[in-house]
Amino acid sequence: MTTLPGTDIKVSLIAKSASGFAPIFHEAPATGGLAMASVNAGNAVDLFVGGGGINGGFGHALQHQDIAAYEARHKALLKSAQSGGPAHMAYADENPMAFSLVTADRLLADQSGYLDGLCFVDMFGAGHRPRNIAENAGMLYVASPFGGNYPDEQSFLEAITALAGTIALCVGRYNGLDRPAGLPALEAVRLCLYGSGIYNTHNTPPDAIALAIVQGLAGVLGSQNCGIRQIEVPDDAPWHFALDESDMS
C-alpha cells in the first residue's frame, strides 16, 4: 500500500475479478472497517443508473435496489440546489438511498443539457447496501466530462482533473454535515477511470486520464481535510503509472 502523493492518505490497489474488472463494491467485509463510496461515471444528461459501461455495472451491483428511482431523485435534488434550496436530502423511503447530497457549483461544460462536473453523494440505508456489507456505504455519482464538449485533449484532461477535486470536496461537504442516524462518515473512496470509454472522443491514453484524476485528488486533499483516509483504485497499469508519475512530480 502506498500513499496519495503529497498526502498521508493510503492508496489501496484492488485486484481484478475473473471478469477482468475490479469489483465495484467490497465482496467481503473490509479489513479496517472504513465506510466506502464507489465512484460511478454516470449519465451527464439524465442522471440515471444503468445502461452501458460502468453505469451499467452499477445497475447490476445495485439490482436489489429500486434503481429507477435514482433519476427522479437526482433531478429533484439538483433543481432544489440550483434554485437556492437545500443541496441535500434525507429520504423516508430508503430505497434506493437514504440520503443524498449534490455539488452543483463546479459544472464544467458550456454545452446545453450537459452536466459535466456534477457530483452526488448517495448514501445507502442499512438494508440496501450491496451484499449487506456495512462498508459498502454509498455511491459517488458523477457526470463525467464528455470529450465532445471540449475542443482539445488538454481541456478534456483539465475537466477530468477538476472533477476529481470536486469528488474530494463533495465528500468533505457530506462529512461536515449533521448526518441522519445510522449514516457513517465516508473515509474511503473507490475510483473508476471516468472519462474513458465512450466519453473519450479524443482517444486520450488511459495513463493520462488516470494521472489527471490522481492529480486532481491530490491537489485538493493535499491542502484540505475532507475526512478521506483511503483511496482505492484497480490494480492495473494506468493507475500504477499515475501514482508513479505523481509521486515524481
Find, among 149, 163, 194, 169, the residue nearest to 53 by Cα.
Answer: 194
Rounded Cα distance between 71 and 67, Å, is 8
- Give the pLDDT score at 113: 87
**Domain annotation covers residue 27:** no
**Domain annotation covers residue 24:** no
Tens-digit pLDDT profile for residues 84-113: 999 999 999 999 999 999 999 999 987 878
Find, among 176, 229, 221, the residue nearest to 32 by Cα.
Answer: 229
**Domain annotation covers residue 25:** no
Burial of 223 (0-12, 13-18, 19+ CB in 10 A): exposed
**Domain annotation covers residue 39:** yes
pLDDT < 70 regions, the chain: 1, 248-249
Q: Which domain holds residue 149?
A: 2-15+33-248
Rounded Cα distance between 85 and 141, Å, is 20
- Give the pLDDT score at 31: 74
**Domain annotation covers residue 238:** yes
**Domain annotation covers residue 66:** yes
CATH number of residue 111's parent domain: 3.40.220.10
Say if residues 47 and 143 touch (Cβ distance below 8 Å): yes
**Domain annotation covers residue 187:** yes
Rounded Cα distance between 173 and 227, Å, is 9
Q: Look at the chain and report how many structural domains it folds into.
A: 1
**Domain annotation covers residue 44:** yes
Beta strands 36-42 and 188-190 are parallel
